[in-house]
Structure 1
Amino acid sequence: MNTNVTLELKFKTAEGKTRNLSLKNPVTDLTSEQVQPAMEAIIELDAFEVKGVNPYAGLDSARYVERVVTDIFNTEE
């Protein structure tokens, strides 16, 4: 059994839709006081564009997502 943790940063696009940025293997004790300014820095860069739309135009939320994978069998072992 493997447990994977991802830090999911959720932004609002310039069109008001939600866009996720997922980071694998994050530090798992980050606070909102640490994460929010980092997200604001990404927004301030204004360095991304997808089909003419800024995907990281505003803050939405941040969360940890934990995924548990249990192999039934694996022929590569």
Structure 2
Amino acid sequence: MTTTVTLELKFLTADGKTRNLSVKNPKSGLTSAELQPAMDAIIGLNAFEVKGINPFTAVNSARYVERTITDLIAEAE
């Protein structure tokens, strides 16, 4: 069994849709007080563009996502 943790940062786009930015193996125990300025900094970079639209214009939410995989038949080596 393997468990992975991802930090999922959700932003609103310039056209009102939601976009996610996922970070693998994040530091545990992050708080909203730590994440809010970091997400604001990502928005301030204005470094991303998807189909001519800035995908990160406002903070929507953030959460940890845990995924557990249980192999029933192991992969052949």
Q: Which range, TM-score by smaller chain? A: over 0.9
1:12 aligns with 2:12: yes
* Runs of 4 or more above 6 Å deviation: none
* Partner of residue 68, structure 1: 68
**Structure 1 length normalisation: TM-score?**
0.95
* % identical equivalent positions: 65
Cα RMSD for the two superposed structures: 0.9
- Give how far 1:47 is off: 1.1
Q: Which residue of 2 aligns with 1:37?
A: 37
1:71 Cα deviation from its structure 2 partner: 0.4
Q: SS at 1:48's partner residue?
A: coil
TM-score after normalising by structure 2: 0.95
Amino acid in structure 1 at the alignment position of 2:73: F
Any unmatched runs of 5+ in structure 1?
none
Number of aligned residues: 77
